[in-house]
A and B are shown apart, each in its own frame.
Chain A
Amino acid sequence: MKVENQKAWFFVLPVLVLVAFNALVPMMTVVNYSVQETFGNNQFFWQGLDWFEQILRSERFHAALGRQFLFTFLILIIQVPLGIVIALSMPRSGFWVPVCLVLMALPMLIPWNVVGAMWNIFALPKIGLLGYFLNDVVGINYDFTQDPLAAWFTIIAMDVWHWTSLVVLLAYAGLVSIPDAYYQAARIDGASSWAVFRHIQLPKMKNVLTIAILLRFMDSFNVYTEPFTLTGGGPGNSTTLLSIDLVKIALGQFDLGPAGAMSLIYFAITLLVSWLFYTLMTRNDT
């Protein structure tokens, strides 16, 4: 006979407590702000869904969201193919493997605000190496503090430098797990190197690449520290991404209600896109 009791709940309890304090409770305070208005003094007035409506209709939000999607799209379309190409050209065995791996991991080990500060100095016209090189050696008029296009170029370059390694390492892990027999069979079958990539390497990398894209999507969609340290959202609002705008509203203007509503919308978009992407990529696996 099966004895039923509820003791198993005790095993789940620590996790429940942990999740409650690091996710649920903070999240519920945001929900709390998003439906109320406050003028300080700890006084709150019920506002219903007004803030949500206001944010969703706001042109400022649309512009920031557009910039956010553009940023994520650009870095994905550069980092994923670039990461695959670098992973393919890395050696599979021998002395250089650990050297390559360590070199690849280095950018990811640098604290995010340091990356922003580094690139800020690096790209400053007249002073920084990149700024000096582009202005005085190549002769392009480049100033990311004045020119929106230059600012975009710089934040994209910075993110590519910082995060392509993640795609490289994951893709490389996928590549080295392919048994030699596949390459040997392909050689015997007379497959071209494109066919080897298309029919062996890419399918075997599919799972790790799904994870890589998912991680890169979430991180770049929520990115704050690096672009903020580099450009502060400027010039003007040209590099004000969603997260930077959110901090401006919440801490700059101290509009806690709209900021709360915006956070929830932001979270919902990230969750929805991640879920859609993951579901689409894995639907054929079972």
Chain B
Amino acid sequence: MARITLDKLRHSYLREPTGPADYALKGLDVEWRDGGAYALLGPSGCGKSTLLNIISGLLTPSEGRILFDDQDVTGLPPDQRNIAQVFQFPVIYDTMSVRQNLAFPLKNRGVDQARIDRAVGEIAGMLGVEDLLDRRAAGLAPDDKQKISMGRGLVRDDVNVIMFDEPLTVIDPHLKFSLRSKLKELHQRIETTMIYVTHDQTEALTFADEVVVMQDGEVVQIGTPVELFERPGHTFVGHFIGSPGMNVLPAERAGTGVSFHGQPVQLDGAIRDGASGRLEIGVRPEFVTLADHGIDATVTKVSDVGRHKVVEARVGETRINAMTEGAVPPTGSAVQLAFRADRTRLYADGWLASGEGVR
């Protein structure tokens, strides 16, 4: 188990990168606490798999260092880093039984048979695969196979970190939930640092204590699921997380405050000094209400998503989503929208620029 520090990490797949566009990772400084459950969340191609491979040692970064506790492991190969990784597609050794699969990492490290048997039994119990131990691994269902590949990571008691690279991609939807809660339960029992890479916000938010949101090779925000939801540090986080995502509305400066479509909008706090560039107001659909005073809008669509309804309205060219549980106005009717002030934020060039403690 270890604390993991990424120190000014940069990586390019090109031999001679010339500009920021050539970098898959553009300078990361992150510190992960020992025993934490972290998620790396971002769209495909944002650099999360690159980062994962750098931590596991399958890739050597172009610049910067990785530290496990205080040891610099940047140049070490994967087998000397004491890490475990679970891949997108379950990797199992076809010729072996489930038991042999689980024992494989220990056997390769010369652990004695009695300890292997004990560790394998324990892990099989945790994963609920005791009945499968003597079956050939090749014939298992995808979710059992993925459990076995997780098991090979968990069976070693000396791992610094276990990494999951979109491990639920090939799992049937109805099994995803149970496997996810199994993972959460395992983390609470063995308290190893875990890093979970995904582009699925539900997986990230349910698994992790803290989520690292990435875009284009950069970390845009690190925070707890609640923080990411309530106070997105970047418009990208706002609309990537949440369903539907945060409303991002073009804004103009009006005195000390801002206005949208000529109407003043109240924000959660003071605007950061020197906030300039492209100004936008961000407010989640959860905090937009249909009221009898506020911004004039026309209803264009209503969708029923079960527990609540999403009303899509139009103000000029801008679309705004609002969530409501009550009665909904018919399409085409004029409504007035109100934003909850303490959840309405200003963004300058994409970055959060209002409220307390902004950069």
Interface residues of A (CB under 8 A from B): 179, 181-182, 184-185, 187-192, 195, 198-200, 202-204
Is the Cβ of A187 less than 8 Å from the Cβ of B58? Answer: yes
Chain B contacts with A in 89-103, Cβ cutoff 8 A: 89, 91, 93-96
Residues of B within 8 A of A190 (CB): 79, 105, 108-109
Residues of A within 8 A of B91 (CB): 181-182, 185
A181 to B105, CA, bound (A): 16
CB of B205 within 8 A of chain A? Answer: no
Residues of B within 8 A of A192 (CB): 108
A199 to B103, CA, bound (A): 14
Is the Cβ of B78 less than 8 Å from the Cβ of A184? Answer: yes
A-B contact pairs, 30 of them (CB 8 A): A181-B87, A181-B88, A181-B89, A181-B91, A182-B91, A184-B56, A184-B85, A184-B87, A185-B85, A185-B87, A185-B149, A185-B152, A187-B77, A187-B78, A188-B56, A188-B78, A188-B83, A188-B105, A189-B79, A189-B105, A189-B108, A189-B152, A190-B105, A192-B108, A195-B108, A199-B104, A200-B93, A202-B95, A203-B94, A204-B94
Residues of A within 8 A of B83 (CB): 188
Is chain A's interface secondary structure helix, strand, loop, or mixed overall? helix
A191 to B93, CA, bound (A): 11
Is the Cβ of B104 less than 8 Å from the Cβ of A191? Answer: yes
CB of B241 within 8 A of chain A? Answer: no
Is the Cβ of B108 less than 8 Å from the Cβ of A191? Answer: yes
Chain A's nearest CB lies how many Å from the CB of B305?
36
CB of B168 within 8 A of chain A? Answer: no
Chain A's nearest CB lies how many Å from the CB of B87?
4
Residues of A within 8 A of B105 (CB): 188-190
CB of B251 within 8 A of chain A? Answer: no
B58 in complex: contacting residue of A184, A202, A203, A204, CB < 8 Å: A184
CB of B84 within 8 A of chain A? Answer: yes
A41 to B91, CA, bound (A): 70
A255 to B272, CA, bound (A): 105
Is the Cβ of B96 less than 8 Å from the Cβ of A199? Answer: yes
Residues of B within 8 A of A198 (CB): 95
Chain A's nearest CB lies how many Å from the CB of B119?
14
Chain B contacts with A in 24-83, Cβ cutoff 8 A: 53, 56, 58, 77-79, 83
Residues of A within 8 A of B152 (CB): 185, 189
Residues of B within 8 A of A189 (CB): 79, 104-105, 108, 152
Chain B contacts with A in 221-276, Cβ cutoff 8 A: none
A179 to B104, CA, bound (A): 19
A55 to B60, CA, bound (A): 69
For the complex of A and B, the 9 pairs showing the least CB-CB separation, nearest first, are A190-B108, A185-B91, A181-B87, A189-B105, A190-B79, A199-B93, A187-B78, A203-B94, A188-B78
A195 to B84, CA, bound (A): 18
Residues of A within 8 A of B149 (CB): 185
A204 to B138, CA, bound (A): 12
Interface residues of B (CB under 8 A from A): 53, 56, 58, 77-79, 83-85, 87-89, 91, 93-96, 104-105, 108-109, 149, 152
B79 in complex: contacting residue of A179, A188, A199, A202, CB < 8 Å: A188
Q: Tell me the total A-B contact number using a CB cutoff of 8 A.
A: 53
Residues of B within 8 A of A187 (CB): 58, 77-79
Chain A's nearest CB lies how many Å from the CB of B51?
15
Residues of B within 8 A of A184 (CB): 53, 56, 58, 78, 85, 87
Q: List 5 additional A-B contacts (Cβ < 8 Å) besides A185-B85, A203-B94.
A: A182-B91, A185-B149, A189-B104, A191-B108, A192-B108
A191 to B83, CA, bound (A): 14
**What residue of chain A has the Cβ atom nearest to residue B109's Cβ?**
A190
Which of B53, B108, B152 has the most C-beta atoms of chain A within 10 angstroms of its own C-beta?
Answer: B108
A189 to B88, CA, bound (A): 16
A220 to B262, CA, bound (A): 87
Is the Cβ of A203 less than 8 Å from the Cβ of B87? Answer: no
Residues of A within 8 A of B53 (CB): 184
A190 to B84, CA, bound (A): 10
**What residue of chain A has the Cβ atom nearest to residue B95's Cβ?**
A203
A179 in complex: contacting residue of B58, B84, B89, B109, CB < 8 Å: B89
A182 to B58, CA, bound (A): 12
Chain A's nearest CB lies how many Å from the CB of B80?
9
Chain A's nearest CB lies how many Å from the CB of B75?
15
Chain B's nearest CB lies how many Å from the CB of A245?
42
A187 to B87, CA, bound (A): 13
**What residue of chain A has the Cβ atom nearest to residue B159's Cβ?**
A188
**What residue of chain A has the Cβ atom nearest to residue B90's Cβ?**
A181
A191 to B77, CA, bound (A): 13
**What residue of chain B has the Cβ atom nearest to residue A187's Cβ?**
B78
Chain A's nearest CB lies how many Å from the CB of B83?
7
**What residue of chain A has the Cβ atom nearest to residue B85's Cβ?**
A188
**What residue of chain B has the Cβ atom nearest to residue A185's Cβ?**
B91
Which of A189, A191, A200 has the most C-beta atoms of chain B within 10 angstroms of its own C-beta?
Answer: A189
A198 to B93, CA, bound (A): 10
A192 to B109, CA, bound (A): 10
Residues of A within 8 A of B79 (CB): 187-190
A181 to B93, CA, bound (A): 12
**What residue of chain B has the Cβ atom nearest to residue A202's Cβ?**
B95
Chain A's nearest CB lies how many Å from the CB of B41?
21
A1 to B344, CA, bound (A): 66
Residues of A within 8 A of B93 (CB): 199-200, 203
Residues of B within 8 A of A182 (CB): 91
Residues of B within 8 A of A191 (CB): 104, 108
Residues of A within 8 A of B95 (CB): 198-199, 202-203
A179 to B77, CA, bound (A): 20
Residues of A within 8 A of B96 (CB): 199
Chain B's nearest CB lies how many Å from the CB of A224?
39
